[in-house]
Amino acid sequence: MLRHTRPKGTQDFIPPVSQQKLLVENTFRDLAVIYGFQEIVTPTFEHTELFIKSSGTGSDIVIKEMYSFQDRSQRSLTLKPEGTPGVIRAVLENRLVLPARLYYITPCFRYSRPQKGRYREFYQLGIEALGEASARTDAELIHFGVRFFSRLNIAGLTVMVNSIGCRTCRQDYREKLLTFLRLNREALCPDCQQRIEVNPLRVLDCKNDHCQTMLQKAPVPREYLCSDCQTHFTIVINELTARQLPYRIDDHLVRGLDYYNRTTFEFVSDKLGAQNSLGGGGRYDYLIEELGGPPTPASGLAIGLERTMLAMPQLEVPTGRRQLVFVIWTSENELRTAVDLTDRLREAGIPAQLSFDSPKLKRQLHLADLADAAFAVIVGEEELKRGVYGLKNLTTGEQIELPAPELISRLKPLLAV
């Protein structure tokens, strides 16, 4: 019986999965920098009001998913359920000059039902283009996402795109939708019946089959766009076409957050089954103002790390060895030389390790094996006198001698990272 286990809905990233996580993060980081984004790091928890104000009181996040707690001074704090609100808060508080392009990689927390690829602690990779009003920015962010997934060799990707209008035209639409939903209340699932009065738009993307069938006759936001919103959407679509991106218009895509307006989009992969979303985003021209800043247009996206890892081609668990040299010494007299050699290997970019704990050759070879090292370099008294090191291939067991000055230049092409 294990004494301690991880909390429900969390996961450990152990090697080689941790390696894969790093690859996803580095790919995101590299791409963000290429697109002109700079990193922003904000606290893991914020004042609870920030999330209530930004996600909206009617959102699932605020109603049932936040990890909120009181600290010892009775402040209500919440572990961030998503990346954007903290970024906006920090931008305003630190008076960043806008426009600004920012990216983040952060753990987020939501008390939701754990499912495949969905955790209570999960990582979001996000970019925010603050102060950019153009529809072309929305298209560029979508292109960023497509490029990111393609760099990770994720196949079968489609971008679902929609427009949910602005403050003005959404009001008209909302009335029409409400009328329709109230008339059909009985046909909706219990969740949707509650959403009608609180957040009717959310009903549109309910995953329940009955709701979806009934909603096929519902009015959709795009039919009610004002002419500015219509133009904005047309530019997004034309730009996606010009960039030859794999998109589809989805009239029911509203996303789960209250702060979006106009463009919404979601990346889906046919590799993931029912929970097929890898991430998404949209325009949020009102959020900065809502949080106390000047009216500022903005657009962003967030990608789920865990889903992305699920959609990636299965990582091949190496049947061979790690790119690692284990330096082995045979008596205390050789320890100094072994330490210096290990250091020179590392300096040359070759991963190297040694054990200080036991002078026994057999024990050290066993440790090298446990570490999955590709080679062991043996620093022995006899060998040192002749100016050579022993080099043992730990896969084949084959051992050769190499003149000391040649060791690094021979190993470097094989192992350097």
Q: What residues line the site for Zn ion (CB under 5 A)?
A: 165-166, 169, 189, 192, 206, 208, 211, 226, 229
What's the closest the beta carbon of residue 178 comes to Zn ion, in angstroms? 15
How many other C-beta atoms lie within 10 A of the C-beta of residue 387?
Answer: 10
If DSSP codes are grouped into helix, strand and coil, which group holds residue 256? Answer: coil
What is the rounded CA–CA span in Å between residue 80 and residue 66? 8
User: Closest CB to Zn ion among 145 and 165?
Assistant: 165
Answer whether the bond into residue 318 is a cis peptide, omega within 30°: no
User: Closest CB to Zn ion among 169 and 327?
Assistant: 169
If DSSP codes are grouped into helix, strand and coil, which group holds residue 76? Answer: strand
For 23-53, letters b (16+ CB in 10 Å) and e give ebeebbeebbeebebeebebeebbebebbbb
Beta bridge partners of 303: 125, 279
306 is in an annotated binding site: no
What is the rounded CA–CA span in Å between residue 356 and residue 417? 24
User: Closest CB to Zn ion among 88 and 169?
Assistant: 169
What is the rounded CA–CA span in Å between residue 390 and residue 401? 5
255 is in an annotated binding site: yes
User: Closest CB to Zn ion among 10 and 208?
Assistant: 208
128 is in an annotated binding site: yes
What's the closest the beta carbon of residue 173 comes to Zn ion, in angstroms? 9
What's the closest the beta carbon of residue 254 comes to Zn ion, in angstroms? 13
Burial, 254: exposed, middle or buried (Cβ in 10 Å; 0-12, 13-18, 19+)? buried
How many other C-beta atoms lie within 10 A of the C-beta of residue 119?
Answer: 21
What's the closest the beta carbon of residue 176 comes to Zn ion, in angstroms? 14
What's the closest the beta carbon of residue 271 comes to Zn ion, in angstroms? 26
Beta bridge partners of 391: 377, 400
User: Closest CB to Zn ion among 32 and 166?
Assistant: 166
Backbone dihedral angles phi then psi of residue 21, each to the nearest 5 degrees: -60, -45
User: Closest CB to Zn ion among 208 and 275?
Assistant: 208
What's the closest the beta carbon of residue 199 comes to Zn ion, in angstroms? 12
User: Closest CB to Zn ion among 190 and 320?
Assistant: 190
User: Closest CB to Zn ion among 166 and 325?
Assistant: 166
What's the closest the beta carbon of residue 192 comes to Zn ion, in angstroms? 3
Taken in order 206, 148, 102, 17, is the CA torsion positive or negative?
A: positive
| The pair of three-digit structure tokens given for residue 123, joined into one six-digit string | 């990582």
What's the closest the beta carbon of residue 297 comes to Zn ion, in angstroms? 13
110 is in an annotated binding site: yes
180 CB-near residues (< 8 Å, 6+ apart): 217, 218, 219
Report angle CA 29, 283, 190 to the nearest 5 degrees: 105
322 is in an annotated binding site: no
What is the rounded CA–CA span in Å between residue 90 and residue 207? 34
Residue stretches of the annotated binding site for L-histidine:
82-84, 110, 124, 128, 255, 259-260
Binding-site entries: 82-84, 110, 124, 128, 255, 259-260
